[in-house]
Amino acid sequence: MRCTKRVCGKITLHLGTLGILCLAAGMAGAAPPPQKFVTDELLVQFKAGVHKANSDTVLKGAGAREAEDIPQLRVKRIKVPAAARAKVKAVLAKNSQVSFVEENYLAEPATIPNDPSYASQWHLPKIAAPAGWDISTGSSSVDIAILDSGVDPS
């Protein structure tokens, strides 16, 4: 399969501080693109042990509401009035129950495959091939051999 550098539509990614730092490190030497974010959302992480009832009270008091819980990161995507985003962010940042609060940045994929059969190749997303293509698409100077003995399910 060969990949080309084309940009597909914008997708929202939940990028925490660590994700932004990793992204910036991969672009060393290049001018960073202007950062875009969802204007009526923030990402917030409450400190360990803060119960949902408490976090809901904190959000409501700041003028926000939970839109999605991302348990793997202990992060909540919250909805805020776009005009009050900075104020809500400042209020939450000062709250002793909050670990961090930041914008929900938008990211655009750098590389997508040009293979018309890509959509039916379930294994490529499973092995995280798209993430690998953002790092490298290989080189025509490297020879690769594929040995296929076939599959006999019986």
The mean pLDDT values, 10 residues at a time, for the chain of 154 residues are 37 38 45 77 96 96 96 95 96 97 84 82 86 82 80 74
Where helices occur in 27-105 by DSSP H, the ranges are 52-62, 85-93
CATH architecture of 40-102: 2-Layer Sandwich (3.30)
pLDDT of residue 30: 53
Q: State how far the Cα of 66 lies from the Cα of 60, in Å rounded to an integer.
A: 9
DSSP state of 109: -
pLDDT of residue 147: 78
Where helices occur in the chain by DSSP H, the ranges are 17-26, 52-62, 85-93, 123-126, 129-133
Q: State how far the Cα of 126 lies from the Cα of 136, in Å rounded to an integer.
A: 18
Count of CA atoms in the C-beta half-sphere (13 A) of 154: 0
pLDDT of residue 64: 97
Quote the mean pLDDT of the chain. Answer: 79
pLDDT of residue 31: 53
Count of CA atoms in the C-beta half-sphere (13 A) of 134: 13
Where helices occur in 39-140 by DSSP H, the ranges are 52-62, 85-93, 123-126, 129-133
pLDDT of residue 140: 86
